[in-house]
Every structure is written in C-alpha cells, then in structure tokens.
Amino acid sequence: MDDLGSVTGIGGDDASPVSRPELNFSASSAGLITKYLYAHGCVLLRGAIPNQKVIAYRDALESIYERYDHALIDPNVKRDFDEFSKDEFDGVSRGDVSPQMFAKFSGLDVVRLFADRKLEEVFSRTMGGYQPVLTTFMSVAPSAAHSSTGISLHADGIVQGTDRFITCLWTPFQPCGVDAPGLAVMTVPREKVLAYLQYKFPTRQIPGWSSMTEWNDTGAFEVKELFRAFGHDKLWNPAMEPGDVMLFTNWTIHGSNVTRSMTKRRSAAILRLTATGSPATRGISG
C-alpha cells in the first residue's frame, strides 16, 4: 500500500462494494441515523419532509424567481428588492436566493422546512447545542434561467475554515439525479477525509484552515485522486425525490452531479447547523 493508502486507511476489504447509506426516515431511529452519519459521512433519508410542505416551499421559491424577472423590467417591482445588496439581487439570476429574501417574499423560514423532532435528536447527538449558519436556496441546470451549472467536488470545512462540527441538510424540490442535476457525495467517514486532506495539505492546520481558492488549485478534489484514495465505489450519485434529505457534515466531500444528458432544472434548499456546544455522544470538535 502506498503512502496515500496508509494515511486514508483504504485498501483490502475497504475497496469492496458496500450498500449505500440510505434509510427510510419514518422507520429509522435517531440513533441509527446518527450511526450512519458517523460511519459514512452522510446518510440519505427517504421521505423525511411531508409532500405538502415541500410543495409550499417549492412554489414560494418559484414565485421569487418570477418576481425577479418582473423586477428587471418594472422599476416598481424592483423597489421590492431595495433592502437587499446588489450581490443578493444579482444572485437570483444564478438561482441563489438568500434566506432573508425568501422569508421576506414568502413568510416562510428555511429552518422550519427541516423542523422535525427526530432530526433535532440527531443534531443534539452530533453537536450538542447548535444554531443555523449559511442557509440558502439554489437552482442548478445544464443551461436554464435562474440556475448555475453546479459546483465541483469539495468539502465545506476547508471553504468555511471552521473547527466546529457542522451538519448540512440538502433537499431537492424536483426529482433529481437522472434527468435533472443531483448531489454527488463521497461516502467516506469524516476522520478519513480529514486524514486525506492533511496529507494533501501538510503545511495547513486541518481542521481550521480556510481557503476559497487554494483547495481547488491543487487537484486534491479531482475524481481520479479521490478514487485513488478512497476507491471507485465511494462516489455516489443517488436519484432523489422531493422530500428526501441528504444529511452530511462539513467534511463530507460533495458537489453537483451534472451530466450532458440532463435536460431539466432542479432547485434545492440547504440548511447548515453549527455546533455551539460539545457533542452529546462523541467528542468531535472539527
């Protein structure tokens, strides 16, 4: 085994195919969900959000995109956006809607989209105390209005530079992963990701180092490097339905799953929660 394999602990049985970390939300306990999150760095919770709630938030988001289009041609409508910065306003053209903008025009809160006692128990188990941070709505398509073309594989922990445990919840408002862009994740526990990144960036403190550019210039997140470190079977591009939630951490390697054959647009809500206290079940701070 070469040095990289020694660092990440990949080799032998680790390279064999494994079942994907997905659970039926209603049939799974908070303890089991937490176990999957620690073991795989992520867990797909099928049917976690009621359909009626999904529709309400999806329609509210689409109405903001329509309002934005009207604002481009009607100064009276444009004034509705005056309290937001130019960057926030222009971001709507790329599908990005801030939680503040969403709340103003919809009266809805992204935190309430994911409100559930079972999820709250998972958060308490993994983070102790917690609070929202870096929430957003976004849209991705190969080519469409109000959309970006996606983001490459990365780990939020480097971009954010945090040494605290952060849990991310990601849910689509349209079916995705087949005809519309989905979410790609590496099903690797956070300890192995941290070891891999420390190997790739030996002079940096991980967790703790923050970089918006350097991490993307070194090749550390190129697919061939990730396959070499963790194995081909660890990259997962699941098909997801509205109401499904992907739960992962700030050290889960993830990005947009976009292919040339995809023809439809997908919007999604993202909520990140950061730990404010000590984890209840494990002493993890990074």
Q: What is the largest CA-CA distance in the chain?
A: 65
Please confirm whether the linkage preceding 172 is cis (ω < 30° from 0).
no
User: Which residue bears the tokens 């870096």?
Assistant: 134
Contact in structure between 139 and 147 (CB atoms under 8 Å): yes
What is the pLDDT at residue 104?
96
Q: Average pLDDT per run of 10 along the chain, which is 286 residues long?
A: 36 45 97 96 98 97 95 96 95 92 95 96 92 86 69 83 85 93 94 92 82 71 94 94 96 87 89 76 40
pTM score, whole prediction: 0.88
Scored b (16 or more CB within 10 A) or e, 91-118 reads bbeebbbbbebbeebbebbbeebbebee
- Which pLDDT does position 147 carry in this prediction? 66
Q: What is the pLDDT of residue 146?
A: 67
Q: Which two tokens stand for residue 136?
A: 């957003």
Residue 201 · residue 195 · CB < 8 Å: no
Give the separation between CA 126 and CA 129, rounded to whole angstroms.
9
* pLDDT for 141: 76
All domains in the chain, ordered by first residue: 3-275 (2.60.120.620)
Strand 42-46 to 130-140 pairing: unpaired
Residues 166-204 have pLDDT tens digits of 999 999 999 999 998 899 999 999 999 999 999 988 888
**Are 137 and 61 in contact, with CB atoms under 8 Å apart?**
yes
Tokens for 103? 């709340």
Taking Cα atoms as reference points, which of 250, 251, 246 lies closest to residue 236? 246
Task: Report yes or no: 14 and 231 within 8 Å, Cβ to Cβ.
Answer: yes
Check residue 278 and give its pLDDT: 55
Q: How many CB atoms lie within 10 A of CB 24?
A: 10
Contacts of 155 (CB under 8 A, 6+ apart): 193, 197, 215, 221, 250, 251, 252, 253, 254
> Distance (Å, rounded) from C-alpha 10 to C-alpha 247?
23
